[in-house]
Structure 1
């Protein structure tokens, strides 16, 4: 009998790739979805794999979560659902921290044969470092998140780590890119139009991870033995300057783009105007004052030594290789 995994956030960018990889690895996958979820890509997978089921999930109801988990009798849970944009700290905390705690508590109370609970956190939970910091961010670095999003992910980690007996692995990816990603795609679309724009002129040290490498690390974490809590930072193991993404795009496309540096004060003012314009909307702008704290941070370099040692994590893609596949997908699907 195949082992069964419950994957939340399944209709999202990372979630879709996790579902596909889990199916290819021979797992039976139950994908957590909501009535509002876009299931177009997952439906294509379902037509190819009989071991994929959709599960309507209400994270606001602990009783419903408990019944769902008992019914599923899951061996593994990968919790990737969460908010990346919200208007208030309380909104972030409700979805990213409180709902995460509810799911974990339900898993422990359900009596299911749970071998591993993998929580997809973020390097934003630890926060960036000074540009000239010699040591990369490690799993034991003191947390200093610079956004409400990062603080909500840190709060979720703290909640989970207090649950005695939960077989927990926390994965903290850096900036994730790959086929179907929408936030960084805005940058590629701008480059495609001939503009290579930056916020401010100060140097930055950045890290990235191709989505397939993140998926590999996440699935490897399912097989960790015992019930001890493990934490892993995930990137491709390299350091990049702030122009690396644009340089990869130009090398791939053969296009030229005009490079310009916009004053931070100007962009902060624009972000404030956008925040105000969206104040009565349920949507949140891609550029906002909160996000600027991450976009202008000087140093996101992290160590992946722990993942290399314990998960046998060996990134297969550096930025050039990952970007080549990503941009080819955008072109094939007529995004570019």
Structure 2
């Protein structure tokens, strides 16, 4: 009989690739989605859809016990919100309620993996080297703070449980929509940067991320573990644009916009969207991430303990991504 995995956030960008990876690994895949979610792209790889109410402890236990999961991957999250309290409610409180139900349920659980973010730790100075699992928390956004909060709570409440926390850096790949905005700008002929200060960046191709998340469930290792994940390389702020231009044979004018100008624009966007249910792509706090000096990431623990061996660097991963965008007429 196949082992069974429950994947939350399955209709999202990373969730799509997780579902594909789990199906390819021979698992029976159950996907937790909202009833309003579009599921057409993952239906072929999902054996059963489930709907979770994170406010209903007994209801969560009932779903878990009915389906007897060996593995759970919690990838659902809120990445942006008008108010920080909403991010805390979803990313901290709902996750805590879900994990409490998991460990209260009578199921043959082997491991649960929680998809956090390098934003929980935050960037560091270039002279400080690389972000490791021992780096002190200094998140610079509300999203990062919400992820820090749940990491701390999980460690406090469930340090003796089979939990793995995966902290990916910036994730890119087919179907991704945030970094894609950069590609649209480059495609229009503009290669824009905020200020002129050097930056060290890190990335992870979504296929490599999905595989290490899944593997972190299947491998036998210590009870409570945390791993930073990138492709293991450090990139300058210009490399993604340079690869784009070379791959698609495009020209783009490189411009450096002063920080104070972008900051005013971000505040203007924030004001313009004040009464809108939507959230702008650029807002004041986002600048803390976009202009940070160093997102370089130490992945030696994942290599050593999970056998993590990313197959894609930025050149190979971005080439595949850009070809997908072009073939599917996103670009």
TM-score by length of 1: 0.96
Q: Superposition pairs for residues 28-67 of structure 1, below 5 Å?
A: 28-43=28-43, 46=44, 49=45, 52-67=47-62
8 Å Cα contact 1:166/1:227 also seen in 2 = no
Task: Give the Å deviation of 1:64.
Answer: 2.0
**2: CA distance, partners of 1:10 / 1:276:** 33
**2: CA distance, partners of 1:111 / 1:268:** 51
Within the alignment, does 1:9 sit opposite 2:13 as a pair? Answer: no
8 Å Cα contact 1:206/1:301 also seen in 2 = yes
Within the alignment, does 1:330 sit opposite 2:316 as a pair? Answer: no
The residue that corresponds to 1:159 in the other structure is: 153
SS at match of 1:209: strand
C-alpha offsets along residues 71-112 of structure 1, whole Å, 9 cap, x if unaligned? 121111100000111111111101111111011000000111
**2: CA distance, partners of 1:230 / 1:333:** 38
SS at match of 1:91: helix
8 Å Cα contact 1:121/1:171 also seen in 2 = yes
Within the alignment, does 1:257 sit opposite 2:264 as a pair? Answer: no
Which one of the candidate residues 72, 77, 83 is aligned to 2:78?
83
SS at match of 1:31: strand
**2: CA distance, partners of 1:284 / 1:109:** 37
Which one of the candidate residues 215, 222, 229 is aligned to 2:210?
215
Instruction: Please tell me the root mean square deviation across aligned C-alpha atoms, in Å.
Output: 1.1
SS at match of 1:325: helix
8 Å Cα contact 2:221/2:305 also seen in 1 = no
Q: Superposition pairs for residues 121-200 of structure 1, below 5 Å?
A: 121-133=116-128, 135-164=129-158, 165-200=160-195
C-alpha offsets along residues 112-170 of structure 1, whole Å, 9 cap, x if unaligned? 1111110000000111011222x211001111111110010011111111233321000
C-alpha offsets along residues 236-281 of structure 1, whole Å, 9 cap, x if unaligned? 0000000011011011011110000111111111111111222222
Q: Superposition pairs for residues 235-274 of structure 1, below 5 Å?
A: 235-274=230-269
TM-score by length of 2: 0.97
Structure 1 runs not aligned, ≥5 long: none
The residue that corresponds to 1:102 in the other structure is: 97
8 Å Cα contact 2:263/2:287 also seen in 1 = yes
Task: Give the Å deviation of 1:188.
Answer: 0.2
Which deviates more, 271-280 or 138-147? 271-280
**1: CA distance, partners of 2:277 / 2:219:** 40
8 Å Cα contact 1:23/1:52 also seen in 2 = no
| Over 3 Å off, 4+ runs | none
Structure 2 runs not aligned, ≥5 long: none
SS at match of 2:210: helix
